[in-house]
Structure 1
Amino acid sequence: MLSILIGHSYFLRFDPKQFERAKPYPPLATLQVAAQVRAAGHEVALFDAMLAEGTADFEALLRAHAPQAVVLYEDNYNYLSKMCLGRMRVAACEMVAAARRRGARVIVAGSDPSDDPDPYLDAGAEVVLIGEGLDALHALLARLDGEPNAAVPALCDDLSGIVFRIGGRTVRRTGDPGTTSATNRTTAVGPAPAWPAINGRPVVWLGGDQAPRTTSSSPSNEPTTEPTPEPSRTPIHDVAWDLVDVGRYRAVWQRAHGRFSLNMAGSKGCSFRCAWCAKPIWGNRYQPRAPEAVAAEMLWLKRHLAPDHVWFADDIFGFRAEWVRRFADALAGEGGGLPFTIQTRADLITEAMADALRDAGCHEAWIGAESGSQRVLDAMHKGTTVEELHVARRRLGERGIRVGFFIQLGYLGEELEDLHATRALIETARPDDIGVSVSYPLPGTPFHEQVKAQLGAKTHWEDSGDLAMMFQGRYTTEFYRAFRNLLHRQVALAQGGEPVIGATGGLESLRHARSRLRRQWSVLLGRERRYRTSASAEVPQEPAQVRGGVARVAAAT
């Protein structure tokens, strides 16, 4: 069997905003793959970039383990990995080059290499996996195990979902096995076997032995069938927690926040079709786990790793109230779980969903609000309404669940009146927290297609605090950053949380702070013309029946 070093390239230290936040999470998808590869009999070591100082730490591990193969498998649950940040691409390519210098075979997988494999191939990667790539990964490792020095064309023969090079040409194979964009075919070293088994059970992803069923290509938002739970399995089979230095994560969290949080996932993917959302890994599919399996994993973490809190990294947690109710009941039957935070959509927060989330122990729910302007929400194909945002916030708040809003500024065609509407949403809905970004066009999205002609040399943010406008929005980056800062201050004051230097008393200081904020809003908006760009694009309009259809599909689920 092979000796394999599995890692990822998201370095917290290379992302100043997230380094200051000090809320690191282990690379969940990377750990899932490590568990699967180890179950196949390979010798596995982990490089966890999250808390590493830099790529020199990776090179030290290369020297210590001398692996035959290196797999850089990004954490597909981590939204920061999905952002395809420029600084992390540089780090990944440095790691690829270092591994190749030491003679290791190198396979790369993640959102950024799926979108743009050439930089990774240029750095020396031999195969890039497209999307999740689990079947291809296992086949490649099995073939390398049979012939460690197999040439790349032979290694990749008859495999799909991969990108590699033959004689300087980039070959991208998608679709059914055997389809290829190149013509020279070679003989494969060995077959592509099924996934390995533990005690007769196939090792797939967290929580079950049933492979996810692909949904149809129609724009349905229904989740796929959940797998049957396996009571005899424990999370260590599915997530290689033993390879993680959990103590280091605990120390960072405790030092910065006085508590410790770990991450889980109850599902993969999202079946909604927001125009700006990139889905290079799981596509337009929502693949839930059995709620009982998710509850069992949380209880395992509670007993063995003792976090104080869990962050569910799902794009959408639960989807249906019945799923969340079963999750809550499974936890209650074992004495209760842990407080947790989720991401969800406003149109999914029915009374039944809010009740189930409360009973399950949900502490905080982040909603993709995006904008307070219905015009912009429709242009995004968001499928939600401003009224639903208010209703969801009220329902969750009434049950003691904190609510955060994700806000997106600068979407194509957004005007000053739309920004006023977003400010009004924050003032009236009064979320407990907000996360603010500007619209970020990533490859493979309708939004990217709309603005790609405007993109210059800068195509990715360097880090998560970049917030640079990379297309011609209505205003400059400077204006959106100032608008973001005032929105954050507005929320802080609504929570009574922003101190004022030199204040003489609580009520007086709050009154002064609010007055100062009003003046700052007045100054920024009074000067807004100075920040305007030459863009004159308007929100693209589609036939009313198409926009309404998107909204009806979302509202019906």
Structure 2
Amino acid sequence: MVVLTHGYFIDEDAAEQQIMKPYPPLGILYLSSFLEEQGIANEVFDSTFSSFNELSNYLISNSPLVLGIYVNLVTKLNVVKLLRFVNTHQALKNVKVVLGGPDVRYNKEAYLKLGANYIVLGEGEETFGELVAAIIRQDKVDHIPGISFLDKGKVFTNQERPLNKELDKLPFPNRKKIDLAKYLATWKQYHGYSSITISTMRGCPYTCKWCSRGVYGKSYRRRTPANVVEELEYIAQQYNPDNIWFVDDVFTISHKWLAEFATIVKEKNLNIKYECITRADRMNDEVIKLLKQSGCFRVWIGAESGSQNIIDLMDRRVDVDLVQQMIRAAKQNDIEAGTFIMLGYPEETEQDIKQTLKHLKKANPTFYTITITYPIRGTELFQQVEASSNVAELDFATTTDRQIAFKQTFSKKYYQYAIQWINSEMTFLQRKERDLAWHDSLKAKLKSVKARIGMYLEKRKLVA
């Protein structure tokens, strides 16, 4: 038997517990359905609402021939723990562990030496299917494209497998293998509506220096609108969610695709509500109309900074004024608009952060998120900070890329104060717009002043 899992436990994720927006592991659900098409029996242990002990006991009880595990920054430490468990438990001595996902390409040797038998690089379906079939037959694997493995202590990596250009041929994710009702119920409980994820494309052709391309590279491949609508119809019949979340990096990248999608949705009289992510330079008035026509109620428009200088350093290739225009235009067409902000990018100054706040005030998005920059291995940002900052070597088994220390303009505490300052100023603006009681606005302004003092004191430490 083949078992697929991902090692994410919501009970261990304090940040997620604050928002409670869990999504099913689409990657391994695609693998599951592909294996089924190949006649290979498999089960999915969806760990999201489970625990490490329950996963461990499940593996002992079932002792699979192959254990496939998806790995990213969030799941890495649990995957390391799971590798050690499998490799030290007598009942699991014959299990072949296969790892895939965005964290494996640039860490393959470390994972193999921690006990993984094989690493799947890039897209997983064909490579994993071929690898599992070879393991079942007890055949050699040295000819299978897209894998890494150890032989006599040395890492061997086979040639890359070409990316799949015909995504319509892939079966839909095997959602019946998990308890999807738990996800829908959780969303309903915490947000008043349920939501399901769909992927329509793979890869992103843009060049943002901080973005990981460990799985799909700089590619752009997409399912046809008709194929996507077919999946939407299936999901509506089987699960009847309130909303759809398209997980694509740039949903409106092809205006022709979007127009065809909107036409088919209208022809089929398909009543869907969805949210998506895109870029300001792939939006205009016509695109916004198509989004609205096809059911979009919320669009996330990437910015990352309100400083054009920082956007250019990131190689985002977008104009900050256009981002503001598109956020406002979406809202004017009754589409909620969210955006993303990143603080602490190399060379960012306090003036850049002030411009970011000014940008947010001008755009006034419905929602926004702020993160502090961290370099991911394999990205141009990581290469940049590694070359200039003397990045300290971390213990692979106990840390993630989020803990990589690199040279930033200010301290981590400074950026935490900066986030508080921006949040307080935006809260003040929004409360003022809603004409709330003066003392509510005053509270926000006092928090803003307190955060600015914190920023000032942290900055003083740099010259002390």
**C-alpha deviation, 1:255, in angstroms:** 2.1
Deviations 1:344-384 (A, max 9, x none): 11111111111111111111111221111111111111100
Deviation string 1:166-213 (CA, Å, 9 cap, x unpaired) is 111122233479xxxxxxxxxxxxxxxxxxxxxxxxxxxxxxxxx744
Shift of 1:514: 4.2
Residue in structure 1 matched with residue 53 of structure 2 by the alignment: 56
Aligned to 2:45: 47
Please show how residues 412-451 of structure 1 align to structure 2 within 5 Å. Answer: 412-451=346-385
Matches for 1:85-484 after TM superposition, within 5 Å:
86-94=76-84, 96-97=86-87, 102=92, 103-147=94-138, 155-175=140-160, 212-213=164-165, 237-452=171-386, 453-458=389-394, 470-484=405-419
Q: Given the two structures, how large is their TM-score scaled by the length of structure 2?
A: 0.91
What is the one-letter code of the residue matched to 1:134?
Answer: E
Structure 2 CA distance for partners of 1:244 and 1:107, relative to 1, 3 Å? same
Report the residue type matching 1:249 in the other structure. Y
Q: Which amino acid aligns with 2:257?
A: W
Partner in structure 1 of residue 24 of structure 2: 26
2:431 corresponds in structure 1 to 496
Aligned equivalents of 1:411 and 1:494: distance in 2? 26
Give the root-mean-square deviation of aligned CA atoms: 2.9
Structure 1: give runs of 5+ residues left out of the alignment.
75-80, 178-210, 214-225, 500-504, 535-557
* Higher alpha-carbon deviation: 268-277 or 9-18: 9-18
Contact kept in structure 1, 2:202 and 2:220, CA below 8 Å: yes
> What does residue 529 of structure 1 align with?
459
Of the structure 1 ranges 278-287 and 7-16, higher mean CA displacement relative to structure 2 is found in 7-16
**Paired residue secondary structure (1:431):** coil
Residues in 1 aligned to 2:433 and 2:175: alpha-carbon distance in whole angstroms: 39
Q: Distance in 1 between matches of 2:22 and 2:88?
A: 25
- 1-structure distance, mates of 2:10, 2:143: 38
Could you tell me how far 1:328 is from its partner in structure 2? 1.7
| Structure 2 unaligned residues grouped into runs of 5+ | none
Does the Cα contact within 8 Å between 2:375 and 2:404 map onto a contact in 1?
no
Residue-pair matches, total:
461
| Cα pair 2:80 2:397 within 8 Å, conserved | no
Give 1:65's aligned residue: 62
Structure-1 separation of matches of 2:85 and 2:271: 39
Residues 295, 337 of structure 1: 8 Å contact kept: no
Instruction: Note if contact 2:424-2:448 (Cα within 8 Å) is conserved in structure 1.
Output: no
Q: How big is each residue's C-alpha offset from its partner over 1:290-322, in whole Å with a ceiling of 9 and x where there is no partner? A: 112112211221221111111111111131222
Between the aligned partners of 1:437 and 1:139, the Cα distance in structure 2 is 39
Check the 8 A contact 1:14/1:463 in 2, yes or no.
Answer: no
Q: Does 1:515 align with 2:451?
A: no
SS at match of 2:369: strand
Contact 1:275 1:380 survives alignment (8 Å): yes
SS in 1 for 2:104: helix
Is this contact kept in 1: 2:417–2:452, CA < 8 A?
no
Report if aligned partners of 1:126, 1:164 keep a CA contact under 8 Å in 2. Answer: yes
Give me the whole-angstrom Cα distance separating, in 1, the residues matched to 2:336 and 2:380. 32
Which segments of structure 1 move beyond 6 Å, counting only runs of 4 or more? 459-464
- Alignment partners' CA distance in 1, 2:173 and 2:316: 33
C-alpha distance in 2 between matches for 1:94 and 1:248: 29
2: CA distance, partners of 1:67 / 1:393? 49
- Taking structure 1 as reference, are residues 85 and 458 closer, same or farther at Cα in structure 2, changes over 3 Å only? farther
Equivalent position SS for 2:272? coil
Q: What is the SS of the residue equivalent to 2:347?
A: coil
When residues 135 and 468 of structure 1 are mapped into structure 2, their CA distance, relative to the original with a 3 A threshold, is closer
Structure 2 counterpart of 1:547: none
Structure 1 pair 243–415 and aligned structure 2 pair: CA distance change class (3 A): same
% identity of equivalent residues: 24
State how far apart, in whole Å, the 2-side matches of 1:265 and 1:100 are.
39
Contact kept in structure 2, 1:259 and 1:308, CA below 8 Å: yes
1:431 maps to amino acid: P
Matched residues in 2 for 1:139 and 1:409: separation? 43
Amino acid at match of 1:97: N
Select which of 4, 7, 11 maps to 2:5.
7
User: Shift of residue 101 of structure 1?
Assistant: 5.0
Relative to the length of structure 1, the TM-score reads: 0.77
How far is 1:441 from its partner? 0.8
Q: Distance in 2 between matches of 1:72 and 1:64?
A: 18
Question: Given residue 175 of structure 2, which amino acid in structure 1 is its aligned partner?
Answer: W
